[in-house]
Amino acid sequence: MNTRPRHHDVLVIGGGQAGLAAGFYLRRHAIDFTILDAGHTPGGQWPHSWDSLRLFSPAQFSSLPGWPMPPVAGYPDAAHVVDYLTRYEHRYQLPIHRSTRVAAVRRDDDGFLVDTSSGPWTARIVVSATGTWWRPFLPALARGSAYAGAQLHTAEYRKPQDFTGQRVTVVGGGNSGAQIAADLTGHAAEVRWCTLRPPRFLPDDVDGRILFQLANRRYRALQAGQPTPAGIGELGDIVAVEAVRAARDGGHRTAWPMFTSLGTDGPRWADGSAWACDAVVWATGFRPALAHLAPLKLSREHGHPVTDGTRSVDEPRLHLLGYGDWTGPASATLIGVGPAARTMATQIAATLDQ
Ligand code: FAD
């Protein structure tokens, strides 16, 4: 393997939607950059999701900068997103090195030394856009249990046919939990959907685009030191996509309170009741996948590195993009990552000019 580092002014780590949005704006500024992506094929997390996943916004509200997502009836599925992202990177001829996993980002004289599975790279500026899919979160209940049945996280769930005739517990009151519980209905013998608090369903005519507007309004209020406005919902409230609606209309939408322990055969509740089941699906969310930044020893707040917008406060030549509201309002969504990427690219251009 050639061990002489390859150099670019900017290295973007991650070739999902956030990496592509970064590439779109870096190209506009005529910046020398390349994208390193661990994936073997385009699409970031989307090719790995369960088969029936539906976006929580229509196509026209799920677009990256420049080229809108082609319209489709109803809510797009994951295959539609993969196709869109594949065509997006070709359309803008974004330079992406696939099958290249970044193991570590270290400070170097003039920027960063980036260790990857395809050799070392150097850069003056690094953009981390690695998403969350590769760091599924499991609560302590799951980690410490002696449960003898199957346990899997959303990231491993693929299709309801894998659970035909089984009794399945689904944990998690967000969109993933609601969609997977609905998906299993009619295939599993019985589904118990358990949530920490009663699930919050949005009205049928409200979807992710409203939630996006609300996230922006809240962010602006926060920046201006004003109280955050109350709204109809929050990112994370459940959008009534078709399968969720069908489950609800069929009377299958009732959620159980969260159980307090997981015995060898299934959940046990505080009132002493228990349920024997074959599998538990944990739809309990994700955390930013940032292990490659460990050598930088960034200080943390609320469990993630401290940033001002996308820029790391400890290391101004490092940007973090697409992980959540802390890297820009709704920046962990298709429509929300563009504005954050645009501001970031302007800052990067200014830094490179210094
Ligand atoms: P990813 O898509 O995860 O891409 C990250 C890329 O980085 C991957 O290609 C990965 O291979 C690569 N990578 C990771 N680590 C490394 C490394 N060390 N070195 C090199 N490459 C690396 N958003 C919406 O707008 N609408 C929705 O309806 C919606 N539904 C969602 C449903 C689910 C179940 C989840 C989990 C999220 C959903 N989101 C939705 C949120 C968001 O749009 C997705 O999480 C999106 O995939 C985030 O894009 P990303 O580019 O930040 O990360």
Q: pLDDT (tens digit, 0 to 9) for every residue of the chain, 354 residues total? A: 557 999 999 999 999 999 999 999 999 999 999 999 999 999 999 999 999 999 988 898 899 999 999 999 988 999 999 999 999 999 999 999 999 999 999 999 889 999 999 999 999 999 999 999 999 999 999 988 899 999 999 999 999 999 999 999 999 999 999 999 999 999 999 999 999 999 888 888 776 667 667 766 766 676 677 765 555 455 568 888 888 888 888 876 678 999 999 999 999 999 999 999 999 999 999 999 999 999 999 999 999 999 999 999 999 999 999 999 899 988 999 999 999 999 999 999 999 998
Dist CA 97 CA 101 (whole Å) = 10
The reported pLDDT for the residue numbered 319 is: 98
| Domain end call among 262, 282, 302 | 282
The answer to whether the CB of 259 falls within 8 A of the CB of 129 is no
39 lines ligand 1 (CB under 6 A): yes
Same domain? 157 vs 263: yes
| Closest ligand 1 atom to 36 CA | 20
Instruction: Give 60's contacts (C-beta < 8 A, 6+ positions apart).
Output: 68, 69, 71
Does some domain include residue 210?
A: no
Same domain? 108 vs 120: yes
Instruction: Give the ipTM.
Output: 0.99
Does some domain include residue 263?
A: yes
Residue 150 Cα, ligand 1 centroid: separation in angstroms? Answer: 26
Does some domain include residue 219?
A: no
Same domain? 278 vs 290: no
Same domain? 276 vs 311: no
Q: For strand 167-171 and strand 190-195, is the pairing parallel, antiparallel, or unpaired?
A: parallel
Q: Residue 230 has what DSSP assignment? A: P
Same domain? 75 vs 121: yes
Buried b (16+ CB within 10 A) or exposed e, 206-230: ebbbbbbebbbebbeeeeeeeeeee
182: its two tokens: 């609905």
283 lines ligand 1 (CB under 6 A): no
Same domain? 144 vs 164: yes
Residue 16 Cα, ligand 1 centroid: separation in angstroms? Answer: 6
Does some domain include residue 222?
A: no
Does some domain include residue 229?
A: no
173 lines ligand 1 (CB under 6 A): no
Does some domain include residue 221?
A: no
Cα→Cα distances 43→19, 20, 157, 212, 333, Å: 10, 10, 18, 22, 14
Same domain? 84 vs 124: yes
Same domain? 190 vs 269: yes
Residue 4 Cα, ligand 1 centroid: separation in angstroms? Answer: 31
Put simply, whether the predicted model's pTM sits higher than 0.90 gets the answer yes
| Domain end call among 228, 257, 282 | 282
Q: Give, for ligand 1, the residue of 40, 45, 281, 333 to mutate: max count of ligand atoms closer than 8 Å to Cβ.
A: 45
Cβ atoms within 10 Å, residue 72: 15
| Domain around 300 | 6-134+286-353
CA angle 212, 291, 132 (to 5 degrees): 25
Does some domain include residue 128?
A: yes
Name the residue with the closest Cα to ligand 1, atom 18.
102
Same domain? 190 vs 246: yes
Does some domain include residue 209?
A: no
Same domain? 153 vs 269: yes
260: its two tokens: 């307090």
Same domain? 191 vs 76: no
- Check which CATH number belongs to the domain holding 251 and give it: 3.50.50.60
Number of domains in the chain: 2
Cβ atoms within 10 Å, residue 40: 8
Residue 122 Cα, ligand 1 centroid: separation in angstroms? Answer: 25
Same domain? 21 vs 123: yes
| Closest ligand 1 atom to 17 CA | 51
The reported pLDDT for the residue numbered 233 is: 53
